[in-house]
Copies of this chain bind each other. A is one copy, B any other.
Amino acid sequence: MKMSEGVEWGLHCCLALAWLGDDTAVPTATLASAFDVPPHYLNKFLQALVRADILASSAGVKGGFRLAKRPEKITLLDVVTAIEGPEASFRCTEIRRRGAGVTARPSEFAMPCGIAIAMGRADAAWRRELAAQTVADLVKAAPPAGAERMRCWYAPRAR
């Protein structure tokens, strides 16, 4: 089970945009260059973040991406869900009803499968932990030198 690299890229882009501030719209090519990742592939994830109302995009010469809301309003769960989708990592396909299960009374399956419930508890714990952390927390946890360096790196690239 492995997340796409888009989660790492997306979170780093959100952190970089939080560092650069509300007034800065950064094009895909510049963000891709900041992390040395392929622009076309990164853009796919940036568009997913726009659809999830995490980033706002603007067109034109000075266009690009910025955070669509304050960093404390964007949870890690928001970003992960935008990139990976809302589905739980464990998907119950109800194999209990197949094979030996085909002769069971329907009442036996009135309750959800206990295995799905148990796996769902772990998924819920994961989501709770992701929902409890925001992009603002990432800003706080990052070394101040990182923010400063990103701003210096960006300055000559601003349009």
Count of chain copies: 2
Interface bits A111-145 vs B (CB < 8 Å: 1, else 0) = 10011011101111111111001000110011101
SS of A interface (majority): helix
Distance in Å: Cβ of A143 to nearest Cβ of chain B: 5
Contacting pair A7 B125 (CB below 8 A)? no
Q: With A108-B143, A122-B76, A122-B129 in contact, do A153 and B100 touch (Cβ < 8 Å)?
A: yes
The interface residues of chain B lying within 8 Å CB-to-CB of A36 are 95, 98-99
Contacting pair A35 B100 (CB below 8 A)? yes
Tell me the complex Cα distance, A101–B146, Å: 8
Contacting pair A99 B35 (CB below 8 A)? yes
Residue of B nearest to A109 (CB): B143
| Most chain B Cβ neighbours within 10 Å, of A92, A100, A117, A125 | A100
Contacting pair A2 B143 (CB below 8 A)? no
| A interface list, Cβ under 8 A from B | 1-5, 7-9, 11-12, 15-16, 32-37, 76, 84, 87, 89-93, 95-96, 98-101, 103-105, 108, 111, 114-115, 117-119, 121-130, 133, 137-138, 141-143, 145-146, 149-150, 153-154
